Structure 1
Amino acid sequence: MNNQMEAILTQLKETSGQPVCAYLYDLDHLRAHVSGVVSQLPERCEMYYAMKANSERPILEELAPLVRGFEVASAGEVKKARQVDGQIPIIFGGPGKTDTELVEAIRAGVKLIHVESMHELMRLEHLAGQLNAMVSILLRINLAGPFPDAATLHMAGRPTQFGINEREVPEIMKLLARCKHVRLEGFHFHSISNHLHESNHISLLRIYVQKAKQWADEYGLEITRLNVGGGIGVNYQTLEEQFDWSLFVSLLAEFVEREVPENWKLMFECGRFLTASCGYYVTEVLDLKENHGERYAVVRGGTHHFRLPSSWQHNHPFEIVPVEQWAYPFARKEWEAVDVTVVGQLCTPKDVMARKVPVSRIRIGDWIAFQYTGAYSWSISHHDFLSHPHPAHVWVRPSVNEWSVTGKVGEAWTS
């Protein structure tokens, strides 16, 4: 976190009179990072942004000119995408689409719908017929695997709610042959997530392409698109050792040239990899206390703002920002060279964001700045648990010394 961001938070604290609690997003960093990612993609590859990672409007406005389109998982996300750009291509996935959502997607001109089941295909054919529409689809297939190692989440190759069982492909092909209002353009495979190994990810794509080729030959399909999902990860344990995108795209270019049919396009739908590094969640230390041999730093906020570390059961990386101001007439408590567990204000022992992390010095009134919080942080959190106030969201452009804020420290807000 830079000096400009510290000055912004100091100003917010002075204005509100409340302890600091805010998300900060570096929009210059976001633009530079995503521009670099997209510009390196080889021909016949497209990047879509998975909005579930962070669908705040400033994020979408920053990304819309950079990516090929948005990947959404609800009618609400369709509306957010259309509010930002009325023409940007949208692809719509998710295992539980309602009839209303499917109709709204058709009317909103969604580019592709990812069909997740036999029943969903039949409903989509029925609804498209009622609207006298032709809908382009990809079939999301839950492959049997096995898949390369080095991922922390699996959506296929084991029992999950995602996609069509690979064994049902012959049956769904028979159904497709009878459909008059859906057009199959290819397949959607998103089998693992938070993958950190570049060459293994190419091996995963090879499995996808080989399966699609097999089915295209077997059923005489004219495939034009293959959605290979997102799944490219962020290393929260060692921030200096991230997925090497440049190495990956060099391998990808060779793979596409040799193994992907010339009339196919590979679609990536990344979320975390695009936005995580632009965000900070900054909270003020309210108390330092020890119970049963463990030292706790209690901060303003908690997992109702920032659920990711609790969800993933990891210690989220942070830095301590020293604050010299002290408003009380009594001594300021501090610890040096200790292991600290960082917890929030919630009435549950699961409100933990990092456990037993070594710190050189920490004081009541210092700030803790959690890094890489631009994805799956605020967006997945149970915001109103215990009716605590929401954090401010601060949008910073360091290059022009501009910033804006959504919400105020210490007050609830609605985005």
Structure 2
Amino acid sequence: MMTEPVRAEALRVAGSGDLPAYVYDLRGLREHAAAVRAALAGTAEIYYAVKANPAAGILRALAPYVDGFEVASGGELARVREVAPGLPVAFSGPGKTDAELAQALSPPVHRLHVESPRELARLIALGAPADVLLRANPELPGEDTRQAAASPFGMDQDGLAACLPLLARAPHVRVRGLHTHLTWAQHDAAAMADLARRVTSWALPWLRDHLPALDGPELDLGGGMGVDYRDPELRFDWKAYAAALPATGARLRVEPGRSLTAYHGWYVTDVLDVKQNHGRGYAVLRGGTHHLRTPVARGHDQPFTVLRRAGGGPALDGPATLVGQLCTPRDVFARDVPVSGLRPGDLVVFALAGAYAWNLSHHEFLMHPPPCFRYLD
């Protein structure tokens, strides 16, 4: 929902000529993060997945409400250490370089997620103490996990077994538990909790069988809590998820990203032109998917609100496709969506632009100017 402060800021930034613009509602973000933290209190730790939106203002707003940050590159690690130096960090990602492993060890991150036996061997060779989680990618019962298993992330049972003799010879690398991330875009809290039960029912026996000396095992359940771009008001039910999580005695951790920040960012732009072409209506907007790649990357229509501004020119009615300025047919925000009286000069404010938006986009294509950024505190 577009709040009145966001609406006012959209009109203000348009009046100043600084379009397109991202507007972030930090107050709303803090309130949302506080509610998620309260819902999970006593059941699971929260590490924000920085890949969703690494903006310094976003990280500062979240820092009081999360237990740590999950990063997947040396750049993200450097950003977190600069913005929130006191918070724990988990370093994930399937392609860590030697330089990134060294960066993660000096000073040591809270947890380093090991993706393969070779990555473990490279880490061991550095000789520095490290606390790690082994990233597991087991093929558990259920179609959702079978889809996740067909990916380059983590290790199957054979890969995990190959790590054990390496660890036996490297006491300076201490295994604290397992990391899994076996689903994406899951809107159903009960289904998400059921996946957690399936993971724990496999992971805890595996740890007992193969690492019997491990005391107080940790299970990082990853993220994947969904955001419904067809219904911007729908939120993941964190209370129901927490209530259904299994009580195992293990230390549970989740890594939400999109489901924390998506709701608190808007992309504001204006209509440059409207036209009919071969019987279809088009509205050409300033900016494009080089600023907001989310809809084309995920194959959805980005939800939006139109703010009318006095202006002349032709009006567009009925189904219309909202496109940007790029010379590619894939520069599309929304296809065949209903509009009424849409004119050049009107503002279009896209919701759910607080995650995987600007940071996901191909900024240099055609070398249009970048958007401006506004943070409402």
TM-score normalised to the size of structure 2?
0.95
- 2:288 aligned residue: 302
Does the CA-based 8 Å contact 1:286-1:364 persist in structure 2?
yes
Q: 1:361 to 1:113 in 2, by over 3 A?
A: same
Shift of 1:213: 1.6
Distance 1:102 1:280 in 2: 35
Give, in angstroms, the shift of residue 197 of structure 1. 1.0
Report the residue type matching 1:250 in the other structure. A
1:341-388 Cα shifts (integer Å, max 9, x gaps) = 110000000001110011233111111111111001111111111110
Deviates more, 1:209-218 or 1:365-374: 209-218
Structure 1 position 164, deviation (Å): 1.1
* Counterpart amino acid of residue 31 in structure 2: A
CA apart distance, 1:204: 0.5
Q: Does 1:38 align with 2:37?
A: yes
Tell me the amino acid that sits aligned with residue 114 of structure 1. H
Match of 1:204 among 184, 195, 216: 195
Say if 2:230 is the partner of 1:230. no
Say yes or no: does 1:278 pair with 2:264.
yes
Cα offset, 1:156, TM superposition: 2.4
Instruction: State whether structure 2 residue 181 is matched by structure 1 residue 190.
Output: yes
Residue in 2 that maps onto 1:138: 133
Which residue of the other structure, out of 240, 249, 255, is the alignment partner of 1:269?
255
Q: Which aligned pairs between 1:10-409 and structure 2 lie closer than 5 A?
A: 10-16=11-17, 20-127=19-126, 129=127, 133-147=128-142, 149=144, 156-158=148-150, 160-219=151-210, 220-222=212-214, 223-252=216-245, 255-256=246-247, 260-261=248-249, 264-324=250-310, 326=311, 331-336=312-317, 338-397=318-377
Instruction: State the shift of 1:312 in Å.
Output: 0.6
Unaligned runs of 5+ in 1: 398-415
Q: Aligned-pair distance for 1:109?
A: 2.6
Q: For the residues of structure 2 that align with 1:4 and 1:176, how far apart are their CA atoms?
A: 54
Partner Cα separation in structure 2 for residue 148 and residue 199 of structure 1 = 16
Q: Supply the AA of the counterpart residue of 1:335.
A: L
1:152-194, Cα deviation, whole Å (9 max, x unpaired): xx87222x11111233222222222122321000000001111
Partner residue in 2 for 1:400 = none
For 2:251 and 2:84, the matched residues in 1 are separated by 23
Q: Is the 8 A contact 1:148 1:204 kept in 2?
A: no
Paired residues of 1:146 and 1:157 also in contact (CA < 8 A): no
The DSSP-based 3-state class of the residue aligned with 2:149 is coil
Which position in structure 2 is the counterpart of 1:410? none
Distance change in 2, residues 1:357/1:374 (3 Å): same
One-letter amino acid matched to 1:282: V
Contact 2:178 2:218 in 1 (8 A): yes
Aligned residues: 374
Structure 1 residue 148 displacement after superposition: 5.8
Tell me which moved more, 338-347 or 4-13: 4-13
Aligned counterparts of 1:362 and 1:208: Cα–Cα separation in 2: 50
Q: Is the 8 A contact 2:89 2:111 kept in 1?
A: yes
Distance across 1 between alignment mates of 2:147 and 2:91: 17
**Helix, strand or coil: the match of 2:120?**
helix
Post-superposition offset of 1:231: 0.8
Cα distance, 1:366–1:125 mapped onto 2, change above 3 Å? same
> 1:284·1:299 contact (CA, 8 Å) conserved in 2?
yes
**Cα displacement (A) at 1:118:** 0.7
Supply the distance in 2 between the matched residues of 1:316 and 1:396 (Cα, whole angstroms): 22
Q: CA deviation at 1:242?
A: 2.8
Alpha-carbon distance in structure 2 between the residues aligned to 1:12 and 1:241: 28
SS in 1 for 2:48: strand
Alpha-carbon shift at residue 39 of structure 1 (Å): 1.2
Q: Percent identity?
A: 42
1:405 aligns to what? none
Match of 1:401 in 2: none
Q: Which residue of 2 aligns with 1:408?
A: none
Taking the aligned partners of 2:46 and 2:147, their CA distance within structure 1 comes to 20
Q: CA deviation at 1:291?
A: 1.4
Q: Report how far residue 280 of structure 1 moved.
A: 0.6
User: 1:155·1:162 contact (CA, 8 Å) conserved in 2?
Assistant: no
Q: Distance in 2 between matches of 1:376 and 1:143?
A: 27
Q: How has the CA–CA distance of structure 1 residues 385 and 146 changed in structure 2, closer, same or farther, with 3 Å as cutoff?
A: farther
User: Hey, what's the Cα distance between the residues in 2 that align with 1:321 and 1:108?
Assistant: 49
Letter in 1 for 2:241: F
**2:108·2:130 contact (CA, 8 Å) conserved in 1?**
no
Task: Give the conservation status (yes or no) of the 8 Å contact 2:116–2:159.
Answer: no
Give how far 1:306 is off.
Answer: 0.4
